[in-house]
Amino acid sequence: MTMTVLDRALAAGDAGQVTGGQERPDPEVPEKARRRTFTAQYKQEVLAAYEAAPDGEKGAILRREGL
């Protein structure tokens, strides 16, 4: 396979650069964090799923919900 100058530039690239036009999130912490609020129904659904889960899968439910 023959590589052109453009191919070499794309292959070499900057190892620390994000490709695809995506920007990195701002690392600064907001001045005041907002508390999350959950409805009673959401709490009941998560609790029911947690209690119904077999041992070893309960942590996966909490991670999925970000709790």
Tens of pLDDT, residues 17-62 = 555 666 777 777 777 878 889 999 999 999 999 999 998 899 999 9
**Of the candidates 40, 41, 62, the residue with the CA atom closest to the CA atom of residue 51:** 62
Structural domain that includes position 67 = 36-67
Residue 17 is assigned to a structural domain of this protein: no
Number of structural domains, the chain?
A: 1
pLDDT of residue 25: 73
Residue 57 is assigned to a structural domain of this protein: yes
pLDDT of residue 49: 95
44 vs 58: CA distance, rounded Å: 15
> pTM for the whole thing?
0.49
Residue 63 is assigned to a structural domain of this protein: yes
Residue 15 is assigned to a structural domain of this protein: no
